[in-house]
């Protein structure tokens, strides 16, 4: 996936889940060997523990 194109799509309102928000900025990304690993990690980041992890590493 091209991260720049994905970010642009979010900022242009082309993604239903984020179309009501704008000015997205990429602050963190990871690479994965498989789509399954990426999906698993994405679910983790939406959990309470995942949110805590991101806040900790991004110093929020």
pTM score above 0.75: no
DSSP class per residue in 6-52: HHHHHHTT-SGGGTT------------SSHHHHHHHHHHHTSHHHHH
Q: Over the chain (60 residues), what is each successive 10-residue block's mean pLDDT?
A: 90 93 91 96 97 94
pLDDT for the residue numbered 54: 95
pLDDT for the residue numbered 1: 66
Check the CA dihedral 18-24-30-32 and report its sign: positive
């Amino acid at each position: 996936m091209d991260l720049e194109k994905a970010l642009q799509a979010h900022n242009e309102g082309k993604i239903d889940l984020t179309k009501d928000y704008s000015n997205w900025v990429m602050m963190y990304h990871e690479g994965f060997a498989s789509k399954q690993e990426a999906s698993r990690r994405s679910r983790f980041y939406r959990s309470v523990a995942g949110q805590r992890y991101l806040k900790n590493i991004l110093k929020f």
